A and B are shown apart, each in its own frame.
Chain A
Amino acid sequence: MGLFQGKHQTKKHSPADEVRETVHDMFDDHYREELRKTGREYFERVISESSVRFRQDLDETISSVNTELKDYMTKRLDETIAHVDDELTKRLDERLAEYDKVIKDAQDQAVQTLNRNAHALHDTSQELVATLQKTLTSQEAVMIGVFEENRARILKTQGAQEMVLQSLQTSAQMSQKQSQQLSATLEKTIADQSAVLVKVFKDNEARIEATKQAQDAALQVLNASAQALGQQYQQLSATLQQSVIDEKTMLVGAFENNMAVVVEHYLLGALGEQYDMKAQLPMIIKQMEANKKAMMDDMKL
Protein backbone atom coordinates (compact mmCIF):
# COMPACT_ATOMS: atom_id res chain seq x y z
CA MET A 1 0.00 0.00 0.00
CA GLY A 2 0.93 3.59 -0.42
CA LEU A 3 1.32 4.21 3.27
CA PHE A 4 4.66 2.40 3.46
CA GLN A 5 6.10 2.86 -0.02
CA GLY A 6 8.85 5.24 1.06
CA LYS A 7 9.72 3.60 4.36
CA HIS A 8 13.11 2.31 3.25
CA GLN A 9 14.31 5.78 2.65
CA THR A 10 16.10 6.61 5.91
CA LYS A 11 17.25 10.08 4.92
CA LYS A 12 16.80 12.60 7.73
CA HIS A 13 14.34 15.45 7.13
CA SER A 14 12.65 18.11 9.20
CA PRO A 15 9.36 17.14 10.92
CA ALA A 16 7.39 19.47 8.69
CA ASP A 17 8.98 17.92 5.70
CA GLU A 18 8.40 14.55 7.15
CA VAL A 19 4.81 15.42 7.77
CA ARG A 20 4.50 16.82 4.29
CA GLU A 21 6.18 13.82 2.84
CA THR A 22 4.12 11.54 4.97
CA VAL A 23 1.01 13.31 3.90
CA HIS A 24 2.20 13.22 0.34
CA ASP A 25 2.95 9.53 0.67
CA MET A 26 -0.35 8.84 2.36
CA PHE A 27 -2.47 10.68 -0.14
CA ASP A 28 -1.18 9.06 -3.33
CA ASP A 29 -3.29 8.23 -6.38
CA HIS A 30 -4.33 4.87 -5.12
CA TYR A 31 -5.56 6.29 -1.90
CA ARG A 32 -7.39 8.99 -3.72
CA GLU A 33 -8.92 6.43 -5.92
CA GLU A 34 -10.03 4.52 -2.85
CA LEU A 35 -11.44 7.64 -1.43
CA ARG A 36 -13.27 8.39 -4.66
CA LYS A 37 -14.69 4.95 -4.69
CA THR A 38 -15.77 5.22 -1.08
CA GLY A 39 -17.24 8.60 -1.73
CA ARG A 40 -19.00 7.36 -4.81
CA GLU A 41 -20.49 4.51 -2.87
CA TYR A 42 -21.45 6.87 -0.08
CA PHE A 43 -23.09 9.24 -2.48
CA GLU A 44 -24.87 6.42 -4.21
CA ARG A 45 -26.13 5.17 -0.91
CA VAL A 46 -27.20 8.64 0.12
CA ILE A 47 -28.87 9.22 -3.25
CA SER A 48 -30.60 5.88 -3.03
CA GLU A 49 -31.84 6.53 0.44
CA SER A 50 -32.88 10.02 -0.54
CA SER A 51 -34.68 8.72 -3.59
CA VAL A 52 -36.50 6.13 -1.49
CA ARG A 53 -37.41 8.74 1.00
CA PHE A 54 -38.37 11.10 -1.76
CA ARG A 55 -40.51 8.46 -3.32
CA GLN A 56 -42.22 7.76 -0.02
CA ASP A 57 -42.77 11.45 0.50
CA LEU A 58 -44.05 11.76 -3.01
CA ASP A 59 -46.42 8.85 -2.56
CA GLU A 60 -47.66 10.27 0.70
CA THR A 61 -48.03 13.67 -0.88
CA ILE A 62 -49.91 12.24 -3.85
CA SER A 63 -52.18 10.26 -1.58
CA SER A 64 -52.82 13.28 0.65
CA VAL A 65 -53.42 15.40 -2.42
CA ASN A 66 -55.81 12.80 -3.74
CA THR A 67 -57.65 12.70 -0.47
CA GLU A 68 -57.83 16.43 -0.22
CA LEU A 69 -58.83 16.74 -3.84
CA LYS A 70 -61.52 14.16 -3.34
CA ASP A 71 -62.76 15.92 -0.25
CA TYR A 72 -62.68 19.23 -1.98
CA MET A 73 -64.51 17.90 -5.02
CA THR A 74 -67.07 16.24 -2.81
CA LYS A 75 -67.56 19.38 -0.89
CA ARG A 76 -67.87 21.44 -4.05
CA LEU A 77 -70.29 18.97 -5.56
CA ASP A 78 -72.38 18.97 -2.40
CA GLU A 79 -72.49 22.68 -2.44
CA THR A 80 -73.39 22.76 -6.09
CA ILE A 81 -76.08 20.14 -5.68
CA ALA A 82 -77.50 21.98 -2.70
CA HIS A 83 -77.49 25.18 -4.67
CA VAL A 84 -79.18 23.51 -7.62
CA ASP A 85 -81.70 21.95 -5.27
CA ASP A 86 -82.51 25.25 -3.77
CA GLU A 87 -82.86 26.82 -7.16
CA LEU A 88 -85.05 24.03 -8.47
CA THR A 89 -87.22 24.02 -5.36
CA LYS A 90 -87.63 27.73 -5.57
CA ARG A 91 -88.56 27.66 -9.25
CA LEU A 92 -90.88 24.72 -8.82
CA ASP A 93 -92.63 26.46 -5.99
CA GLU A 94 -93.06 29.52 -8.11
CA ARG A 95 -94.40 27.51 -11.00
CA LEU A 96 -96.73 25.52 -8.78
CA ALA A 97 -98.06 28.72 -7.30
CA GLU A 98 -98.69 30.04 -10.78
CA TYR A 99 -100.39 26.81 -11.80
CA ASP A 100 -102.56 26.86 -8.70
CA LYS A 101 -103.62 30.36 -9.47
CA VAL A 102 -104.39 29.55 -13.07
CA ILE A 103 -106.35 26.45 -12.09
CA LYS A 104 -108.31 28.35 -9.53
CA ASP A 105 -109.19 31.00 -12.09
CA ALA A 106 -110.19 28.32 -14.58
CA GLN A 107 -112.30 26.58 -12.00
CA ASP A 108 -114.04 29.81 -11.15
CA GLN A 109 -114.69 30.50 -14.79
CA ALA A 110 -115.95 26.92 -15.29
CA VAL A 111 -118.28 27.23 -12.32
CA GLN A 112 -119.62 30.48 -13.64
CA THR A 113 -120.09 28.95 -17.09
CA LEU A 114 -121.87 25.97 -15.63
CA ASN A 115 -124.15 28.19 -13.65
CA ARG A 116 -124.94 30.14 -16.74
CA ASN A 117 -125.62 26.98 -18.70
CA ALA A 118 -127.90 25.64 -15.97
CA HIS A 119 -129.94 28.79 -16.07
CA ALA A 120 -130.09 28.58 -19.85
CA LEU A 121 -131.19 24.98 -19.72
CA HIS A 122 -133.86 25.78 -17.20
CA ASP A 123 -135.20 28.55 -19.39
CA THR A 124 -135.08 26.28 -22.45
CA SER A 125 -136.95 23.52 -20.68
CA GLN A 126 -139.64 25.88 -19.59
CA GLU A 127 -139.97 27.13 -23.15
CA LEU A 128 -140.14 23.52 -24.42
CA VAL A 129 -142.86 22.62 -21.93
CA ALA A 130 -144.88 25.59 -23.04
CA THR A 131 -144.38 24.69 -26.69
CA LEU A 132 -145.40 21.11 -26.06
CA GLN A 133 -148.54 22.14 -24.32
CA LYS A 134 -149.33 24.36 -27.24
CA THR A 135 -148.65 21.58 -29.72
CA LEU A 136 -150.80 19.13 -27.83
CA THR A 137 -153.66 21.53 -27.77
CA SER A 138 -153.40 22.15 -31.50
CA GLN A 139 -153.05 18.38 -32.23
CA GLU A 140 -156.14 17.62 -30.24
CA ALA A 141 -158.10 20.18 -32.19
CA VAL A 142 -156.80 18.74 -35.48
CA MET A 143 -157.69 15.17 -34.44
CA ILE A 144 -161.19 16.14 -33.54
CA GLY A 145 -161.60 17.80 -36.94
CA VAL A 146 -160.25 14.79 -38.73
CA PHE A 147 -162.52 12.46 -36.77
CA GLU A 148 -165.55 14.51 -37.75
CA GLU A 149 -164.51 14.44 -41.39
CA ASN A 150 -164.00 10.66 -41.34
CA ARG A 151 -167.40 10.06 -39.78
CA ALA A 152 -169.02 12.04 -42.59
CA ARG A 153 -167.07 10.01 -45.17
CA ILE A 154 -168.13 6.70 -43.60
CA LEU A 155 -171.73 7.73 -43.76
CA LYS A 156 -171.24 8.65 -47.39
CA THR A 157 -169.58 5.27 -48.10
CA GLN A 158 -172.49 3.36 -46.56
CA GLY A 159 -174.87 5.10 -48.94
CA ALA A 160 -172.68 4.17 -51.88
CA GLN A 161 -172.60 0.55 -50.74
CA GLU A 162 -176.35 0.33 -50.67
CA MET A 163 -176.45 1.69 -54.20
CA VAL A 164 -173.88 -0.93 -55.28
CA LEU A 165 -175.99 -3.71 -53.70
CA GLN A 166 -178.98 -2.62 -55.65
CA SER A 167 -177.03 -2.58 -58.88
CA LEU A 168 -175.66 -6.08 -58.12
CA GLN A 169 -179.12 -7.47 -57.64
CA THR A 170 -180.13 -5.95 -60.95
CA SER A 171 -177.16 -7.49 -62.73
CA ALA A 172 -177.88 -10.91 -61.16
CA GLN A 173 -181.37 -10.82 -62.58
CA MET A 174 -179.92 -9.96 -65.97
CA SER A 175 -177.43 -12.80 -65.73
CA GLN A 176 -180.22 -15.25 -64.96
CA LYS A 177 -182.06 -14.16 -68.07
CA GLN A 178 -178.89 -14.52 -70.15
CA SER A 179 -178.27 -18.04 -68.86
CA GLN A 180 -181.75 -19.07 -69.78
CA GLN A 181 -181.16 -17.75 -73.28
CA LEU A 182 -177.83 -19.59 -73.47
CA SER A 183 -179.34 -22.94 -72.45
CA ALA A 184 -181.98 -22.59 -75.09
CA THR A 185 -179.32 -21.84 -77.68
CA LEU A 186 -177.27 -24.82 -76.52
CA GLU A 187 -180.15 -27.24 -76.84
CA LYS A 188 -180.75 -26.01 -80.32
CA THR A 189 -177.09 -26.48 -81.21
CA ILE A 190 -177.08 -30.05 -79.85
CA ALA A 191 -180.08 -30.95 -81.94
CA ASP A 192 -178.34 -29.57 -85.00
CA GLN A 193 -175.16 -31.50 -84.21
CA SER A 194 -177.00 -34.79 -83.71
CA ALA A 195 -178.71 -34.34 -87.04
CA VAL A 196 -175.34 -33.74 -88.67
CA LEU A 197 -173.83 -36.80 -86.98
CA VAL A 198 -176.65 -39.05 -88.13
CA LYS A 199 -176.06 -37.85 -91.65
CA VAL A 200 -172.33 -38.52 -91.37
CA PHE A 201 -172.97 -42.01 -89.95
CA LYS A 202 -175.13 -42.88 -92.91
CA ASP A 203 -172.40 -41.73 -95.23
CA ASN A 204 -169.73 -43.85 -93.39
CA GLU A 205 -171.86 -46.98 -93.31
CA ALA A 206 -171.04 -47.70 -96.99
CA ARG A 207 -167.37 -47.17 -96.32
CA ILE A 208 -167.46 -49.62 -93.41
CA GLU A 209 -169.07 -52.21 -95.67
CA ALA A 210 -166.26 -51.79 -98.21
CA THR A 211 -163.69 -52.16 -95.46
CA LYS A 212 -165.31 -55.36 -94.27
CA GLN A 213 -165.11 -56.79 -97.78
CA ALA A 214 -161.43 -55.87 -97.98
CA GLN A 215 -160.85 -57.62 -94.65
CA ASP A 216 -162.52 -60.76 -95.95
CA ALA A 217 -160.26 -60.72 -98.97
CA ALA A 218 -157.23 -60.25 -96.74
CA LEU A 219 -158.32 -63.18 -94.60
CA GLN A 220 -158.56 -65.37 -97.67
CA VAL A 221 -155.02 -64.36 -98.68
CA LEU A 222 -153.81 -65.10 -95.19
CA ASN A 223 -155.39 -68.52 -95.23
CA ALA A 224 -153.71 -69.26 -98.54
CA SER A 225 -150.39 -68.12 -97.09
CA ALA A 226 -150.91 -70.32 -94.05
CA GLN A 227 -151.52 -73.31 -96.29
CA ALA A 228 -148.36 -72.53 -98.26
CA LEU A 229 -146.43 -72.22 -95.01
CA GLY A 230 -147.79 -75.58 -93.90
CA GLN A 231 -146.56 -77.15 -97.10
CA GLN A 232 -143.14 -75.50 -96.68
CA TYR A 233 -143.03 -76.72 -93.09
CA GLN A 234 -143.72 -80.28 -94.23
CA GLN A 235 -140.99 -80.02 -96.87
CA LEU A 236 -138.57 -78.61 -94.27
CA SER A 237 -139.49 -81.36 -91.87
CA ALA A 238 -138.77 -83.98 -94.49
CA THR A 239 -135.44 -82.30 -95.36
CA LEU A 240 -134.52 -82.08 -91.70
CA GLN A 241 -135.29 -85.73 -91.14
CA GLN A 242 -133.15 -86.60 -94.15
CA SER A 243 -130.32 -84.43 -92.74
CA VAL A 244 -130.62 -86.11 -89.37
CA ILE A 245 -130.41 -89.51 -91.02
CA ASP A 246 -127.36 -88.44 -93.02
CA GLU A 247 -125.72 -86.99 -89.89
CA LYS A 248 -126.47 -90.17 -88.04
CA THR A 249 -124.92 -92.22 -90.81
CA MET A 250 -121.85 -90.02 -90.81
CA LEU A 251 -121.56 -90.23 -87.02
CA VAL A 252 -121.89 -93.99 -87.14
CA GLY A 253 -119.15 -94.09 -89.79
CA ALA A 254 -116.91 -91.93 -87.62
CA PHE A 255 -117.76 -94.08 -84.63
CA GLU A 256 -116.83 -97.18 -86.58
CA ASN A 257 -113.54 -95.61 -87.55
CA ASN A 258 -112.89 -94.63 -83.96
CA MET A 259 -114.02 -98.02 -82.84
CA ALA A 260 -111.42 -99.52 -85.19
CA VAL A 261 -108.82 -97.33 -83.49
CA VAL A 262 -110.08 -98.37 -80.07
CA VAL A 263 -110.03 -102.01 -81.05
CA GLU A 264 -106.51 -101.55 -82.38
CA HIS A 265 -105.49 -99.87 -79.16
CA TYR A 266 -106.82 -102.66 -76.98
CA LEU A 267 -105.43 -105.24 -79.32
CA LEU A 268 -101.99 -103.62 -79.26
CA GLY A 269 -102.09 -103.33 -75.51
CA ALA A 270 -103.09 -106.95 -75.11
CA LEU A 271 -100.51 -108.18 -77.56
CA GLY A 272 -97.78 -106.04 -76.09
CA GLU A 273 -98.37 -107.54 -72.69
CA GLN A 274 -98.62 -111.10 -74.00
CA TYR A 275 -95.69 -111.28 -76.41
CA ASP A 276 -92.14 -111.70 -75.13
CA MET A 277 -89.01 -111.85 -77.24
CA LYS A 278 -88.95 -115.61 -77.61
CA ALA A 279 -92.56 -115.64 -78.72
CA GLN A 280 -91.88 -112.94 -81.27
CA LEU A 281 -88.70 -114.53 -82.58
CA PRO A 282 -90.32 -116.83 -85.21
CA MET A 283 -92.38 -113.96 -86.55
CA ILE A 284 -89.31 -111.70 -86.66
CA ILE A 285 -87.24 -114.27 -88.49
CA LYS A 286 -90.11 -114.91 -90.86
CA GLN A 287 -90.43 -111.22 -91.68
CA MET A 288 -86.68 -110.88 -92.05
CA GLU A 289 -86.77 -113.84 -94.34
CA ALA A 290 -89.33 -112.02 -96.44
CA ASN A 291 -86.99 -109.00 -96.64
CA LYS A 292 -83.84 -111.07 -96.97
CA LYS A 293 -83.06 -110.11 -100.50
CA ALA A 294 -83.34 -106.40 -99.84
CA MET A 295 -81.08 -106.74 -96.83
CA MET A 296 -78.49 -108.68 -98.74
CA ASP A 297 -78.48 -106.13 -101.53
CA ASP A 298 -78.05 -103.35 -99.01
CA MET A 299 -75.12 -105.15 -97.36
CA LYS A 300 -73.43 -105.63 -100.72
CA LEU A 301 -73.60 -101.92 -101.35
Chain B
Amino acid sequence: MTKTTAKTAADFILPPSVVTKVDVSRLVSEVERLDSELTTAAVRAKTAAPQAPQPTVSEQLASFLTQNKIAFDTPQNRTALVQQLRILKDKVPVIHMTFAVQSDPESLRQIVQWLRSSVHGQAVISVGLQPSLVAGVYLRTPNHVHDLSLRTLLTGQHDVLVKELEALRGAR
Protein backbone atom coordinates (compact mmCIF):
# COMPACT_ATOMS: atom_id res chain seq x y z
CA MET B 1 0.00 0.00 0.00
CA THR B 2 2.96 2.26 0.11
CA LYS B 3 3.89 2.32 -3.58
CA THR B 4 2.56 5.18 -5.59
CA THR B 5 1.07 4.35 -9.00
CA ALA B 6 -1.22 6.26 -11.35
CA LYS B 7 -3.59 3.56 -12.53
CA THR B 8 -6.85 4.15 -14.33
CA ALA B 9 -10.04 2.13 -14.15
CA ALA B 10 -9.16 0.23 -17.29
CA ASP B 11 -5.89 -0.90 -15.74
CA PHE B 12 -7.35 -2.34 -12.56
CA ILE B 13 -7.00 -6.04 -11.92
CA LEU B 14 -9.93 -7.47 -10.07
CA PRO B 15 -9.11 -10.17 -7.51
CA PRO B 16 -10.94 -13.53 -7.64
CA SER B 17 -12.92 -12.59 -4.54
CA VAL B 18 -14.61 -9.79 -6.50
CA VAL B 19 -17.17 -11.77 -8.42
CA THR B 20 -20.24 -9.63 -8.95
CA LYS B 21 -20.97 -5.98 -9.56
CA VAL B 22 -22.16 -5.75 -5.99
CA ASP B 23 -18.66 -6.62 -4.88
CA VAL B 24 -17.32 -3.74 -6.97
CA SER B 25 -19.85 -1.38 -5.39
CA ARG B 26 -18.82 -2.62 -1.99
CA LEU B 27 -15.20 -1.86 -2.84
CA VAL B 28 -16.13 1.70 -3.75
CA SER B 29 -18.09 2.32 -0.56
CA GLU B 30 -15.33 0.78 1.57
CA VAL B 31 -12.65 2.95 -0.01
CA GLU B 32 -14.85 6.00 0.58
CA ARG B 33 -15.34 5.03 4.21
CA LEU B 34 -11.61 4.42 4.72
CA ASP B 35 -10.74 7.74 3.11
CA SER B 36 -13.12 9.49 5.47
CA GLU B 37 -11.75 7.70 8.53
CA LEU B 38 -8.13 8.33 7.62
CA THR B 39 -8.81 12.00 7.00
CA THR B 40 -10.50 12.26 10.37
CA ALA B 41 -7.58 10.53 12.04
CA ALA B 42 -5.15 12.98 10.43
CA VAL B 43 -7.15 15.92 11.72
CA ARG B 44 -7.29 14.39 15.17
CA ALA B 45 -3.51 13.90 15.14
CA LYS B 46 -2.98 17.58 14.34
CA THR B 47 -5.26 18.70 17.18
CA ALA B 48 -3.70 16.26 19.66
CA ALA B 49 -7.09 14.73 20.23
CA PRO B 50 -7.38 11.08 21.30
CA GLN B 51 -6.70 8.77 18.39
CA ALA B 52 -9.48 6.71 16.86
CA PRO B 53 -8.92 2.97 16.49
CA GLN B 54 -7.14 1.78 13.34
CA PRO B 55 -9.64 1.28 10.51
CA THR B 56 -10.18 -2.29 9.36
CA VAL B 57 -9.78 -3.33 5.73
CA SER B 58 -11.74 -6.18 4.14
CA GLU B 59 -10.08 -9.09 2.42
CA GLN B 60 -11.48 -8.04 -0.95
CA LEU B 61 -10.07 -4.52 -0.69
CA ALA B 62 -6.76 -5.76 0.68
CA SER B 63 -6.26 -8.18 -2.19
CA PHE B 64 -7.43 -5.53 -4.68
CA LEU B 65 -4.88 -3.02 -3.38
CA THR B 66 -2.17 -5.65 -3.26
CA GLN B 67 -2.76 -6.94 -6.78
CA ASN B 68 -2.96 -3.47 -8.23
CA LYS B 69 -0.09 -2.12 -6.06
CA ILE B 70 -2.03 0.99 -5.15
CA ALA B 71 -0.75 3.47 -2.52
CA PHE B 72 -3.43 4.35 0.00
CA ASP B 73 -1.49 6.66 2.31
CA THR B 74 -2.15 10.15 0.97
CA PRO B 75 -5.52 11.81 0.60
CA GLN B 76 -4.77 12.57 -3.05
CA ASN B 77 -4.20 8.91 -3.81
CA ARG B 78 -7.36 7.92 -1.99
CA THR B 79 -9.40 10.50 -3.84
CA ALA B 80 -8.03 9.35 -7.18
CA LEU B 81 -8.74 5.74 -6.27
CA VAL B 82 -12.32 6.56 -5.34
CA GLN B 83 -12.84 8.32 -8.64
CA GLN B 84 -11.36 5.46 -10.67
CA LEU B 85 -13.33 2.85 -8.75
CA ARG B 86 -16.56 4.77 -9.46
CA ILE B 87 -15.66 4.75 -13.15
CA LEU B 88 -14.90 1.05 -12.92
CA LYS B 89 -18.25 0.37 -11.25
CA ASP B 90 -20.07 2.14 -14.07
CA LYS B 91 -18.13 0.53 -16.90
CA VAL B 92 -17.33 -2.96 -15.65
CA PRO B 93 -18.62 -5.60 -18.12
CA VAL B 94 -21.37 -7.71 -16.55
CA ILE B 95 -22.35 -11.20 -17.74
CA HIS B 96 -25.69 -12.48 -16.47
CA MET B 97 -25.59 -16.17 -15.67
CA THR B 98 -28.67 -18.16 -14.69
CA PHE B 99 -28.05 -21.57 -13.17
CA ALA B 100 -30.37 -24.52 -12.56
CA VAL B 101 -29.19 -25.02 -8.98
CA GLN B 102 -28.00 -22.83 -6.18
CA SER B 103 -24.45 -21.68 -6.91
CA ASP B 104 -21.63 -21.80 -4.37
CA PRO B 105 -18.96 -19.09 -4.04
CA GLU B 106 -16.12 -21.37 -5.03
CA SER B 107 -17.76 -22.37 -8.30
CA LEU B 108 -18.58 -18.74 -9.06
CA ARG B 109 -14.99 -17.81 -8.38
CA GLN B 110 -13.77 -20.46 -10.84
CA ILE B 111 -16.21 -19.29 -13.49
CA VAL B 112 -15.15 -15.66 -13.01
CA GLN B 113 -11.49 -16.64 -13.25
CA TRP B 114 -12.16 -18.42 -16.53
CA LEU B 115 -14.11 -15.40 -17.83
CA ARG B 116 -11.30 -12.99 -16.88
CA SER B 117 -8.63 -15.21 -18.37
CA SER B 118 -10.58 -16.05 -21.53
CA VAL B 119 -13.12 -13.32 -22.30
CA HIS B 120 -12.44 -10.06 -20.47
CA GLY B 121 -9.97 -9.20 -17.70
CA GLN B 122 -12.47 -7.17 -15.66
CA ALA B 123 -15.60 -9.24 -16.22
CA VAL B 124 -18.02 -9.71 -13.34
CA ILE B 125 -21.18 -11.76 -13.26
CA SER B 126 -24.78 -11.36 -12.15
CA VAL B 127 -26.18 -14.62 -10.82
CA GLY B 128 -29.74 -15.96 -11.27
CA LEU B 129 -31.57 -19.22 -10.51
CA GLN B 130 -33.97 -21.14 -12.80
CA PRO B 131 -34.55 -24.82 -11.83
CA SER B 132 -36.37 -25.59 -15.09
CA LEU B 133 -33.04 -25.42 -16.87
CA VAL B 134 -32.27 -28.83 -15.24
CA ALA B 135 -28.54 -28.30 -15.61
CA GLY B 136 -26.06 -26.03 -17.38
CA VAL B 137 -26.30 -22.28 -17.63
CA TYR B 138 -28.33 -19.61 -19.38
CA LEU B 139 -25.80 -16.94 -20.25
CA ARG B 140 -26.51 -13.36 -21.33
CA THR B 141 -23.76 -11.06 -22.53
CA PRO B 142 -24.49 -7.38 -23.30
CA ASN B 143 -25.77 -8.20 -26.79
CA HIS B 144 -26.29 -11.96 -27.00
CA VAL B 145 -27.92 -14.90 -25.25
CA HIS B 146 -26.29 -18.32 -24.99
CA ASP B 147 -28.61 -21.07 -23.79
CA LEU B 148 -26.23 -23.73 -22.57
CA SER B 149 -28.83 -25.56 -20.46
CA LEU B 150 -29.44 -29.31 -20.52
CA ARG B 151 -33.12 -28.78 -21.30
CA THR B 152 -32.28 -27.07 -24.57
CA LEU B 153 -29.74 -29.75 -25.32
CA LEU B 154 -32.32 -32.50 -24.84
CA THR B 155 -34.91 -30.65 -26.90
CA GLY B 156 -32.45 -30.53 -29.74
CA GLN B 157 -31.81 -34.27 -29.36
CA HIS B 158 -35.54 -35.19 -29.32
CA ASP B 159 -35.50 -36.75 -32.80
CA VAL B 160 -32.56 -38.92 -31.88
CA LEU B 161 -34.46 -40.26 -28.90
CA VAL B 162 -37.51 -41.03 -31.03
CA LYS B 163 -35.37 -42.90 -33.52
CA GLU B 164 -33.81 -44.88 -30.73
CA LEU B 165 -37.28 -45.85 -29.47
CA GLU B 166 -38.35 -46.86 -32.95
CA ALA B 167 -35.27 -48.99 -33.28
CA LEU B 168 -36.04 -50.55 -29.94
CA ARG B 169 -39.61 -51.34 -31.07
CA GLY B 170 -38.35 -52.79 -34.34
CA ALA B 171 -35.93 -55.00 -32.46
CA ARG B 172 -38.83 -56.45 -30.44
Neighbour of A278 across the interface among B107, B115, B135, CB < 8 A: B107
A172 close to chain B: CB less than 8 A:
no
* Distance A260 CA – B167 CA, assembled complex (angstroms): 13
The interface residues of chain B lying within 8 Å CB-to-CB of A252 are 169
Contact between chains at B165 and A256 (CB < 8 Å): yes
Given contact pairs A295-B146, A296-B119, A299-B141, A257 touches B162 in the complex (Cβ within 8 A): yes
Within the complex, the shortest CB–CB distance from B157 to chain A, in Å, comes to 9
Contact between chains at B120 and A284 (CB < 8 Å): no
Given contact pairs A263-B161, A294-B144, A276 touches B101 in the complex (Cβ within 8 A): yes
B136-164 contacts to A, CB under 8 A, are 136-137, 139, 141-144, 146, 148, 150-151, 154, 158, 161-162
Within the complex, the shortest CB–CB distance from B51 to chain A, in Å, comes to 46
The interface residues of chain A lying within 8 Å CB-to-CB of B93 are 299
B43-89 contacts to A, CB under 8 A, are none
The interface residues of chain B lying within 8 Å CB-to-CB of A291 are 139, 146, 148
Neighbour of B118 across the interface among A256, A276, A284, A292, CB < 8 A: A292
Q: How many of chain A's residues touch chain B, expressed as a range? A: 20 to 34
Contact between chains at A295 and B136 (CB < 8 Å): no
Given contacts A281-B107, A291-B146, 19 further A-B contacts (CB under 8 A): A260-B158, A264-B154, A264-B158, A267-B154, A268-B150, A268-B154, A272-B134, A277-B102, A280-B100, A280-B101, A280-B135, A280-B137, A283-B135, A284-B148, A288-B137, A288-B146, A294-B144, A295-B139, A301-B142
A4 close to chain B: CB less than 8 A:
no
Given contact pairs A257-B162, A260-B158, A260-B162, A284 touches B169 in the complex (Cβ within 8 A): no
The interface residues of chain B lying within 8 Å CB-to-CB of A256 are 162, 165-166, 169
* Distance A275 CA – B153 CA, assembled complex (angstroms): 15
Contact between chains at B165 and A277 (CB < 8 Å): no
Contact between chains at B158 and A272 (CB < 8 Å): no
Interface residues of B (CB under 8 A from A): 93, 95, 99-104, 106-107, 110-111, 114-115, 118-120, 123, 131, 134-137, 139, 141-144, 146, 148, 150-151, 154, 158, 161-162, 165-166, 169
The interface residues of chain A lying within 8 Å CB-to-CB of B119 are 292, 295-296, 299
Given contact pairs A287-B148, A288-B114, A292-B118, A260 touches B101 in the complex (Cβ within 8 A): no
How many A-B pairs have beta carbons closer than 8 Å: the answer is 101
The interface residues of chain B lying within 8 Å CB-to-CB of A287 are 136-137, 148
What secondary structure prevails in chain A residues at the interface with B?
A: helix
Given contact pairs A280-B100, A296-B119, A285 touches B169 in the complex (Cβ within 8 A): no
Instruction: Tell which of A257, A271, A277, A301 has the most Cβ of chain B within 10 Å.
Output: A277
Neighbour of A299 across the interface among B102, B106, B142, CB < 8 A: B142
* Distance A276 CA – B93 CA, assembled complex (angstroms): 27
A234-282 contacts to B, CB under 8 A, are 252, 256-257, 259-260, 263-264, 267-268, 271-272, 275-278, 280-281
* Distance A276 CA – B134 CA, assembled complex (angstroms): 10
A98 close to chain B: CB less than 8 A:
no
* Distance A283 CA – B110 CA, assembled complex (angstroms): 13
Neighbour of A284 across the interface among B111, B131, B142, B162, CB < 8 A: B111
Within the complex, the shortest CB–CB distance from B96 to chain A, in Å, comes to 12
The interface residues of chain B lying within 8 Å CB-to-CB of A292 are 118-119
The interface residues of chain B lying within 8 Å CB-to-CB of A283 are 135-136
Within the complex, the shortest CB–CB distance from B2 to chain A, in Å, comes to 34
Contact between chains at A259 and B165 (CB < 8 Å): yes
* Distance A259 CA – B134 CA, assembled complex (angstroms): 19
The interface residues of chain A lying within 8 Å CB-to-CB of B150 are 268, 271
A298 close to chain B: CB less than 8 A:
yes
A289 close to chain B: CB less than 8 A:
yes
The interface residues of chain B lying within 8 Å CB-to-CB of A278 are 104, 106-107
